Structure 1
Amino acid sequence: MFRVLTFHNGRRLDCEFVLVGGDTYVLGRGDEANLHADWDDHISRRHVELHAGADRVTLRKLAETSNPIFVDGQVISEANLASGDAFVIGSTRFEVQQVRQSDSPGRQPIQQMTIDRQHLQRVRYDDADKRIEVLTSLPAVIRESGVERDLYIRLASLLLAGVQNADGVAIVGLSDTLRPRVFHQEQRFETGIIMQPSVRLISNAMEQQTTILHIWDNAETNTQQYTQVAGYGWAFCTPFPDITGDRALYVTGRSLPEAASSHERRLHADIKFTEFIADIVGSLQRQRRLERQQSGLRQFFSPPILEALGQDLDTSMLEPRECDVTVLFCDLRGFSHRAEEEADNLTKLLECVSLALEVMTSQILRFGGVTGDFQGDAALGFWGWPIASEEAPLNACRAALAIREEFRKAQADPNHPLKDFETSIGISHGRAVAGKIGTREQVKVTVFGPVVNLASRLESMTRELHVSVLIDEFLDKQIREKLPKDEGRVRRLLQVLPYGMERTLLVSELVPPESRCPSLTEQHLADFEKGVALFIAGHWSEAWKFLHRMPAEDRAQDYLSMLITQHDRKSPTDWDGIVRMKKKSG
C-alpha cells in the first residue's frame, strides 16, 4: 500500500490519497477521476494513471492531457516511483510513500469481537453532552458536502472530535475487485506512526456487514490470525447501511492504562456513537440516491407510475421482461430538408426541435406512458410496462390525438416557433421486451421487439397515405369498441403488405372527434370505409364514387384514387385485396 501526499505552492494540503497494491487509479480534476485533484488548473480532467505495485508506483501520462509531468526536473511520460519519490504537475507536488502492512502481526490480538446492536442500546455515554455538541454539526457537514470526497474529509474530522480516544479515522471500502481500499484517512497527531488500516478487519466487517472490533496487546508472538497495526491497540470498522455495502468507517487508537471493563465500556460507547453517525449518513445517502433516481426516472415515467413504484423505488419492477405493450412512434416531417435550408441557423432549429420533442413527451407522460430515448427528431413512447393496464392501448391513442392537436394549434398561430412543423405518428400493439438499462445512478428505459419496428413502419407510411396517425388492426378494434366518439374516431384505410415484410396489415387512421374536425363527419367516415371495402373486393369503379365524397381538404383518399386511376378504375385480374408497397416508405 502507498499513500500520496499533496503539496500546492510548497504548502502541505489536507488531501492525501491511498493506493492499494494491485489497483490502478486515475488522477485528475474531473469527477470521473478516482483521485480527485481540483485545486490546480494545470491538472487535466484525466491527467495521469497510477498503478500500485509491490514496492513501487508506476506512473503513466494519459493521452488526453497536454500539460507536462516532471520527475526530478525532467519531463516524463512514464516512470517508476519508489517510496520517497515525487512527481510535479503545475504547482502541485505529489509525494509517494510506501505504507507497510502485514498479515503476520508482531503482536498477538487479544480478541476479535462482532458487535451486537441490542447490547449497544444498553450502553450509556459518560460524555453525552460533548457528543451531542458534535452531532449538532452533522447536518451542516452533510449539507455542505457537494461531492463524496468533501463528505469523507468532513466526516473524518467530525469523528475525531466525537470519539476523543481515537487517534485515526478513515473512510474505507472495497474496490471493484473486492479488495479493501482507503478513500480518505486522518490522524489526530503527527506522531511518526503511520496509520495503516487493517486489511483483514475491513474485509471481515464488509463481508459480514456489521461492526467488528480488533484489540491487540504487547506480547510478542508468531501468530498469524489477525492483521495488526503497529502502534495502535484497537480498531473497529463500521459499515454504512444502505450504501450498496461498499463503504465503512474505520476508527483506531492506542490503549489507555485502565481496567479491562472500563476499556471495553468506553470502546462500546465509541462504537455506538460511530454507528449512529453511519446510520444517519447512510440514510441520507440512500435518500440522495433515491432523489437522483426519481429525478432521472421522472423524464421517462408519468406521475401515476412513479407513485405506483413507491417512495422506496422498487427497481425490481423495472427489470427487463416480456410483456404486451402499445408503442407510439412520433416523428417530425421534413426535418432533414429544414436542416439543409437552415444550415446557417442550426441553433434556432435545434431549439425548435427540442420544443417539438417536449410537446411529444409531455403528452406521452400526461396519458400515463413511458418515454424511451429520443431518436434524432423522433420520440418513442410505450404503455403496458412497468404496470399493465387495460387502458394502455386507448391512452396511447389519446396521447397521439393530443400531440396532433398541439401541433394544429401551433400551425394556426403565426408567431408560434412550431408553426411550420408537422408531425406523423404510428401506433402498434404486441409483445416486446421492456425494461431498464444503465447503471445504479443513471437509469434509462427501453423497449424492443417487432412491435417497435411496426410502429416506426406505420409512422413512415403516413406520408405516402397522406394522414397524420396510423394504427394497426388491434387498435382499430379497441377504438371502435371502447373509445368514446367524443375523444376520437377511426377509419379503415387499406390492407397492405409493406416493403420487406411478410405479414399483411390492415391499417387505419386515428381521426380526431368531430368537434375538433367538423369537416370530416361520421357520414364521411362511413362512405370512406364503404369505398375501402369495395376497393378490397375489387369493385374499383364503385369504390371511386364513395372515396370522392370526401371533403377537398381530406387527402386520405389520394393514394387509393391514384391506384384506381392508374388501372382505369378496374382491378387487376390477379387482385387479392392487398396493396404491395414497392419500396420502404420514409
Structure 2
Amino acid sequence: MVGNEPQTCTHLANLTKRQLMADLTAQGPERADRWRRQLRASNPIILGREEGTWSVPWDNRVSRKHARLQWNGQALQVEALPNRPNPIFFRGEPHDHFRAEVGDRFVIGSTSFTISADAVNVTIDLPRPASQQTFSAQHLRQVAFRHARQQIEALSRLPEIVAGAVNDQELCVRLVNLVLTGITSAHAVAVVRGALAAEPVKVLHWDHTESRHSSFQPSGQLIEASLEQQEGILHLWDRSSEATPYTIDEECDWAFCIPVPGTSCDRWAIYVAGQAGATNLRPDDFQDYLKFVQLVATTVGNVCDLRLLQRRTTSLSSFFSPPVRDALAVSDPEVALAPREANVSVLFCDLRGFSRESERSSDDLFDLLNRVGGSLGIMTRKILDYGGVIGDFHGDSAMGFWGWPISQGDDVIPACRTALEIRSELEAAASDRHAMSGFRVGIGIATGQAVAGKIGTVDQVKVTVFGPVVNVAARLEGMTRRFGSAILVDGQTAEAIERITPQDSLATRRLGNFRPYGMASTVSVHQLMTAADLAATDIPTSHSGIDAFADGDWKRAAELFHELPQSDPVRNFFLAYLQQHNGNVPEQWDGIVELDSK
C-alpha cells in the first residue's frame, strides 16, 4: 500500500487540474490551407486526408487515415496509424507515439499542427475609436471592387465551403478560414452571435494568423451596434496616440462587423480585426474588405435560409398531396401553414382486427407488421390522392382532413370519396389469400370549424387540426362498430352531400340523433352510401322507423324495422336497443340515444 501512495497522489493531483479549452490548428503551405478546431475530451479523433471535418485535403503526404488523437483535458496523445508512408515529426524527430501540450507543434508532410489555448473574450471596455463609419448593405452592393483579386479568389470557394458544412459549427469554421484567406491584413476573424435575453454576445468560432499570440477581445459595442442597425460598421483607432492604447491589442488598428442576414442565422455577425500598418487611415481604404465580407455574409444567410426552407418542405411533403405542395411552393410556407381557423372535413380511419391478427401471427410478427403497413398505406395514399392532409398517424389508424391550407370549395366530397375507396380496397383484400386479409375498417367523417396548422420545431414538425369537429369524427369512427357500418358521417357532412352531389353518385342514410360517450353535444349521424348501397336499401322504411323511434312510437318503430332485411345492421341495432328497454320509452324521452361507451 505504501508503494502505491505516490502514484495515487499523482493521479489525484491530475484530476484536480483545470481542464484546458484548447484548439488544434492545421496550416498547410498556402494561406487557405488551414483550419482551427476545438479539442474535446471525448472519443479519439482520426486525422487524415479524407477524415471528414478533421481532414487535410491539401496535403498528399498525409494518408487517408494517418494518426489517432486523444485530448485528455491537459495534453494531446498522438499515435501514428499503421501503413502510413510518411512519419510524424515532433520536436524535430519522427515519432510514432508522443504527448503534446499547449504550445507544442507537430508536422506531417507540409502541414503543421499546433495546439493552442488562446483566450477570446468579448469586451465593452475599449477606447473610443478615432473614426467610425457605417456601410449599408445597399451601398456595398453598389460600389465596385478596386483591388480585389485575393477576395475574388476566396469567393470562388464559397459554394464548396457552404455545401461541405454539415452543421452550424463546421460552417463557422469554414467561414472564419475563408475571411482570413480573403483579407491578408486581418489578424483575427470571428463568427459571433449577438446577445439573446440573459445571454451575452457569444463567439461561435474564431481564428487568428500565425503572427498573433495574444488574446483576442472583440468589441461588444461594435457587434451590438452592427446587429441593431443591420449595417456594417468600421472602427479605426489612432496609432499615433500615446494616451491610451489605440485598439484591443497592440497588433490591431481597425475592426469591423457585418451582420449575417436571414432567419436561420439569427443575430449572427462576422467580426474582423487587423493591422493596416499605415497612418492616416480612411474608411474608404477598407471598402474592398467590407464588400467582400458583406458578399460572404449575404450568400451564407441566403443559402442557410434556403436550406431551412428545404428542410421544412421535405419534412412536410409527406403530409400534403402534390397539388397542395405545388400551391404552397408559390407562397410563403410560414404564412400558408400558420395555424388558423378554417372549415374542414375530418376523416378518422381505424383498422379493425389488429388484436385478433396479433394473436394469430404471434410467431411471425414481422409479417403482421408488413400487413398492417400495407393497410395503413392504403389509407394514407387515398387521403393524399384526393388532396387531403395527413393530420395524424398511429399504429393502426390514420387521420386526414380537407379545407386547409387550401380549400377546394367542396371539401366534403373528396373526404367521402376517400372513405369509400379505402373501404372498397380493403374489402377487395379480404380474401384469405390476400396479404391484408383479416382486416376491416371503420371510418368517421365530420365537418365544421376548427383550427388547423403547423406545429413543432425546425427539424421535428407536423401539421394537425384542433376543435370539436375532430372529436366528432373520432366518435363516429368508434360508432361504426355498433352499427356494423364501415362509414358514418355527421349532419353537416350529410347536408353538403345532398346539396352538392346527385344521388346516383353519393348518398346518405339518416340514423338519428346521438350523444356520443364523453360528449355533451348531440350529433346527427348518417351512413355514407354509394348508389349501389342505396339501391339495396329500403330507405323510406328505414327513415320512417327512425322517425317513429325518435317520436317515442316504439311499437310502430319495431314494426317498421322488422320489415327491413335481417342482414341490415342498422335494423339490428335499433331492434336490440328496443329489446334492451323492453319496448318501454324512457321518461323524458327526447329522441336522442345516449351511448355509454366509445
Shared fold by TM > 0.5?
yes
Residue in structure 1 matching 2:444, options 415, 426, 437: 426
Residue type at the aligned position of 1:333: R
Partner of 1:498: 516
Q: 1:101 to 1:547 in 2, by over 3 A?
A: closer
Residues 100 and 294 (structure 1), Cα distance of their counterparts in 2 relative to 1, 3 Å cut: closer
* 1:381 aligned onto 2:395: no
Change (3 A) 1:38 1:197: farther
User: Can you give the 5+ residue segments of structure 1 that lack an aligned partner in the other structure?
Assistant: 19-26, 30-36, 42-67, 74-83, 86-92
Q: Does 1:257 align with 2:278?
A: yes
CA distance in structure 2 between the aligned counterparts of 1:370 and 1:421, rounded to whole angstroms = 24
Confirm or deny that 1:352 pairs with 2:371: yes
Q: Is contact 2:349-2:379 (8 Å) kept?
A: yes
Q: 1:5 aligns with which of 22, 33, 41?
A: 22
Q: Is the 8 A contact 1:491 1:511 kept in 2?
A: yes
Say whether 1:583 aligns with 2:596. yes
Shift of residue 508 of structure 1? 0.7
- Displacement of 1:216 in angstroms is 1.5
- Determine if the alignment matches structure 1 residue 461 to structure 2 residue 479: yes
2-structure distance, mates of 1:276, 1:162:
12
Residues 277-318 of structure 1: per-residue CA shift (max 9 Å, x gap): 222222111111111111122222333333333445341343
Assess, with a 3 A threshold, how the Cα gap between structure 1 residues 461 and 230 changes in structure 2: closer, same or farther.
farther
Query: What's 1:64 paired with?
Result: none
Aligned match of 2:344 in 322, 325, 345?
Answer: 325
Q: 2:171 & 2:252 partners in 1: Cα distance?
A: 26
**2:404 paired with 1:390:** no
Q: Which amino acid aligns with 1:481?
A: R
The corresponding residue for 1:109 is 129
Question: 2:261 corresponds to which residue?
Answer: 241
Give secondary structure in 1 for the equivalent of 2:347: strand
1:168 paired to 2:188: yes
**Contact 1:202–1:237, Cα closer than 8 Å, also in 2:** yes
Residues 66-113 of structure 1, C-alpha deviations (whole Å, 9 max, x = no match): xx996679xxxxxxxxxx89xxxxxxx9986544554323x5411222
Q: SS at 2:527's partner residue?
A: strand
Task: Tell me which of 429, 444, 451 is aligned to 1:410.
Answer: 429
Cα–Cα, structure 1 residues 203 and 348, in superposed 2: closer, same or farther, change >3 Å? farther
Amino acid at match of 2:146: D
Query: Counterparts in 2 of 1:45-84, with a 5 A limit?
Result: none
2:571 aligned with 1:562: no
Partner of 2:288: 269
- Cα drift, residue 166 of structure 1: 2.0
1:191 and 2:218 matched: no
Contact 2:37 2:173 in 1 (8 A): no
Determine the C-alpha separation between the residues in 1 that align with 2:230 and 2:138: 16
Q: 1:101 to 1:241 in 2, by over 3 A?
A: closer
8 Å Cα contact 2:123-2:217 kept in structure 1:
no
State the distance in 2 between where 1:454 and 1:28 align. Answer: 56
- Paired position in structure 2 for 1:90: none
Shift of 1:141: 1.7
CA distance in 2, matches of 1:102, 1:501: 61
Relative to structure 1, the CA distance from residue 260 to residue 502 in structure 2 (aligned partners, 3 Å threshold; closer, same or farther) is closer
Corresponding residue of 2:54: none
Q: Relative to 1, partners in 2 of residues 1:230 and 1:199: Cα closer, same or farther, differing over 3 Å? A: farther
Residues 38-63 of structure 1 deviation map (CA, whole Å, 9 limit, x = unaligned): 8479xxxxxxxxxxxxxxxxxxxxxx
Partner SS, residue 428 of structure 1: strand
Please tell me whether Structure 1 or Structure 2 has the larger radius of gyration of its CA atoms. 2
Within 1, Cα distance between the matches of 2:272 and 2:293?
Answer: 9
Q: For 2:465 and 2:421, locate their aligned partners in 1 and report how far apart those are by CA, in whole Å.
A: 22
Distance 2:154 2:591 in 1: 80
1:141–1:154: 8 Å Cα contact kept in structure 2? yes
Q: Given that residues 437 and 445 in structure 1 are in contact (C-alpha distance below 8 angstroms), is that contact kept between their aligned partners in structure 2?
A: yes
8 A contact 2:247–2:254 mirrored in 1: no
Alignment-derived partner of residue 149 in structure 1: 169
Query: 2:272 and 2:502 mapped to 1: Cα distance?
Result: 68
Q: Is the 8 A contact 1:495 1:505 kept in 2?
A: yes
Task: Report the Cα distance in structure 2 between the residues aligned to 1:579 and 1:231, rounded to whole angstroms.
Answer: 87
After TM superposition, give the deviation of residue 461 of structure 1 in Å: 0.8
1:561 Cα deviation after fit: 2.7
**Structure-2 change in CA distance of 1:38 and 1:289 (3 Å):** farther
Provide TM-score, normalisation by structure 1.
Answer: 0.77
1:494 aligns to what SS in structure 2?
strand
Distance 1:243 1:523, change over 3 A: closer
| Alpha-carbon distance between aligned partners in 2 of 1:319 and 1:38, rounded to the nearest angstrom | 45
In 1, the alpha carbon distance for the partners of 2:523 and 2:508 equals: 16
SS at match of 1:167: strand
Residue segments in structure 2 that go unaligned for 5+ positions in a row: 1-18, 26-33, 48-69, 76-101, 104-113
How far off is 1:584 after superposition?
A: 0.8
Aligned length: 513
Q: Which moved more, 1:453-462 or 1:264-273?
A: 264-273
- Shift in alpha-carbon separation, 1:468–1:389, aligned structure 2, 3 A: same
Match status 1:528 vs 2:551: no
